[in-house]
Amino acid sequence: EAFEPRFTRVVIVVAIAAGALSPLFVPLSRWCLRIRKPDWKALAE
Protein backbone atom coordinates (compact mmCIF):
# COMPACT_ATOMS: atom_id res chain seq x y z
CA GLU A 1 0.00 0.00 0.00
CA ALA A 2 1.12 3.54 -0.66
CA PHE A 3 -0.12 4.93 2.66
CA GLU A 4 -0.58 2.93 5.80
CA PRO A 5 -3.51 3.84 8.07
CA ARG A 6 -1.01 4.33 10.88
CA PHE A 7 0.96 6.90 8.83
CA THR A 8 -2.23 8.81 8.00
CA ARG A 9 -3.19 8.90 11.67
CA VAL A 10 0.24 10.25 12.64
CA VAL A 11 0.03 12.99 10.01
CA ILE A 12 -3.42 14.04 11.24
CA VAL A 13 -2.33 14.13 14.89
CA VAL A 14 0.80 16.15 14.08
CA ALA A 15 -1.22 18.64 12.00
CA ILE A 16 -3.76 19.13 14.79
CA ALA A 17 -1.04 19.52 17.41
CA ALA A 18 0.83 22.06 15.28
CA GLY A 19 -2.33 24.08 14.76
CA ALA A 20 -3.16 24.00 18.46
CA LEU A 21 0.34 24.96 19.61
CA SER A 22 1.11 27.59 16.97
CA PRO A 23 -0.20 30.49 19.12
CA LEU A 24 2.41 29.49 21.71
CA PHE A 25 5.26 29.09 19.24
CA VAL A 26 4.79 32.41 17.41
CA PRO A 27 5.75 34.61 20.40
CA LEU A 28 8.59 32.22 21.23
CA SER A 29 9.97 32.41 17.71
CA ARG A 30 9.64 36.20 17.66
CA TRP A 31 11.58 36.34 20.92
CA CYS A 32 14.27 33.96 19.65
CA LEU A 33 14.70 35.89 16.41
CA ARG A 34 14.47 39.26 18.22
CA ILE A 35 11.67 40.40 15.94
CA ARG A 36 9.90 43.38 17.44
CA LYS A 37 6.63 44.96 16.56
CA PRO A 38 7.18 48.16 14.60
CA ASP A 39 6.96 51.33 16.65
CA TRP A 40 4.64 53.63 14.76
CA LYS A 41 5.28 57.24 15.58
CA ALA A 42 2.77 59.96 14.83
CA LEU A 43 3.97 62.46 12.28
CA ALA A 44 4.41 66.00 13.57
CA GLU A 45 1.71 68.28 12.28
pLDDT in tens, 9-35: 999 999 999 999 998 888 888 788 876
Give CA–CA dist 31/33, Å, rounded.
Answer: 6
Helix (H) / strand (E) element for 5: namely helix 5-32
Q: What pLDDT, on the 0 to 100 scale, is given for residue 21?
A: 92
Give CA–CA dist 26/23, Å, rounded.
Answer: 6
Q: Is the pLDDT of residue 36 over 80?
A: no
Q: What pLDDT, on the 0 to 100 scale, is given for residue 39?
A: 72
